[in-house]
A and B are shown apart, each in its own frame.
Chain A
Amino acid sequence: MSVITISRGSFSGGKILAECLSRKLGFRCIDRDVIVERAAAYGVSQDDLREALERPPSFLDRFKHKRYLYLALVQAALTQEVRAGRAIYHGLAGHLLLKGGHPILRTRIVAPMEFRIQTVQERLKYSRNSAIAHIEKVDEDRRKWTQFLYGVDWGDPSLYDLVFNVEHVSIEEVCRVISSLLTERRFEFTPECQQKMDDLALGSWVRADLAINSSTSDLELDVVAHDGAVAIKGKVSTMGQIDEVKRVASATPGVTSVNIDNLAPPIRV
């Protein structure tokens, strides 16, 4: 059981690669729409979720907290989808949303600008100049998004296990190299790794439940899970929320205990 994430510039062939890997390995192909659909099951609008994933936040963002909410839901949805392994996610920041030490194979595809322009022109019927402008806008948005939310440079190769440039290497060849790594069981989930993935998933579900519950929805909390035991860190607005946090977290399926020692009470003036 393994999970592959594919990061890509817009129109760089990431989807084609994901589909090729899916055929070769028999893994499920998961894209942003699948995640958005699943996250929307928490009762939020799919359009709002999409916007949170597309539009880069700004420091003056009036909807910063909403973005926290949407990302909590997106992460919960993604971990739900990939927890059992045998999955390929090609969407924004999969390698960051799934960061947690488990051995997902983090890949990135880069493509020469000419290849991307041609793809946009073919697919969207844009003029050459419009295609260039579109690519630059999407790239810039994605760069800002990852920089703001994760403090990292989207293009930094050290964030990935493998970065392929499809200027000279065909996508079929990239697909072959990656699938041979997987069939050699290089990125297999060991029981320890599966535990880490389960912990990440449980932590993200608790965070999503807290984000969506009306009594705790104004909070932004860190949640770390280990084998059913959950530790929650952050600040509450009222003393009553401490009990609410514990109650909501305890109700999440899979949680066996909740530690709120690092939950800071409101400051009394």
Chain B
Amino acid sequence: MRCLTREDLIAVVNTHGELANQVVTSMARAAQDYSRLSALRRPYKILMQRALLEFVRQGDVAYFGYSGHLLLPGISHAVRARIIAPLPLRVDLLMKRENLTEEQARARIGQVDEERSRWTRFMYGKSLKDPELFDLCINLERVSFPTACNILVNLVQQSDFRATPESLAAVENRYLSACVLAALLDNPKTVELEVGATAEGGRVTLEGPYLEGADRSALLDIATAVAGVAEVQYKEGYAPTFDLTC
């Protein structure tokens, strides 16, 4: 199983003009730069999801990063796990790992927790601590690392989370719709359009506001040109512009 971090995804996303770096930098000064950051939110999520799905398609991965559990909706063989630990244990680990004083370690943990919490709320409108967003939360207060690892391995290997033809098809469908949305972002004619995309086999359905003939044609042409797309239709109506909820 390949081990992936958020940095791996950011490296992929940054191939689109340092987009991920822009988001990360803007996040640090979010209070002053809200509107700019807000505009980056949608492309960032689309490209992060596409990057993660690129790895997922290639084989089994263990991803540890900010919001992996929100980036793979509807993929039934993805186990969404959260690991928590009491503050003293975290402080101890950080002090040893980075040779910090207790005070420094506490301050760093407080800052990182706040940033992650703010990030998840801003990007996805969710609470990082909500256990309903995960399949399993493991508290390392009394569960050892090897035991936590065993629990996860057991869970991955059992039938509820085994990949099926349907769940693998869901990965491909998600990936294709993310690719189409990414292609629309990449083109100046369609970058401003907020449309949603769903895919079923090679058939892609785009959904969004009423579009004049030329805009609609451009949209359909760009989507049709994406590798793997066999057919595209456009529906007018409300669609989540980037669906992370199903």
Contacts and interface: CB of A to CB of B under 8 A. Distances in A.
Interface of A: 103, 108, 110, 112, 155-158, 160-165, 167-170, 173, 176-177, 180-181, 184, 186-187
Contact of B135 (A157, A169, A186): A169
Given A103-B142, A161-B142, A180 B135 contact: no
A195 B161 CA distance: 40
B147 interface: yes
Contact of A108 (B131, B141, B155, B161): B131
B143 A173 contact: no
Contacts of B132: 110, 112, 165, 167
30 contacts: A110-B131, A155-B131, A156-B129, A157-B131, A157-B137, A158-B84, A160-B137, A160-B139, A161-B138, A161-B139, A161-B143, A162-B136, A162-B137, A162-B151, A163-B136, A165-B135, A167-B132, A168-B76, A168-B135, A168-B160, A169-B135, A169-B155, A169-B160, A170-B160, A173-B159, A173-B160, A180-B154, A184-B150, A186-B144, A186-B147
Contacts of A181: 147, 151
A162 B138 contact: yes
Contacts of A180: 154
Interface residues of B, number: 26
**Which 10 residue pairs are nearest across A and B when measured between Cβ atoms?**
A163-B137, A157-B137, A163-B131, A157-B131, A161-B139, A173-B160, A165-B135, A110-B132, A169-B135, A110-B131
A158 B82 CA distance: 11
A177 B138 contact: no
A160 B139 CA distance: 7
A155 B84 CA distance: 14
Contact of A173 (B138, B141, B144, B155): B155
Contacts of B160: 168-170, 173
B140 to A, nearest CB: 9
Given A157-B139, A158-B139, A173-B160, A165 B151 contact: no
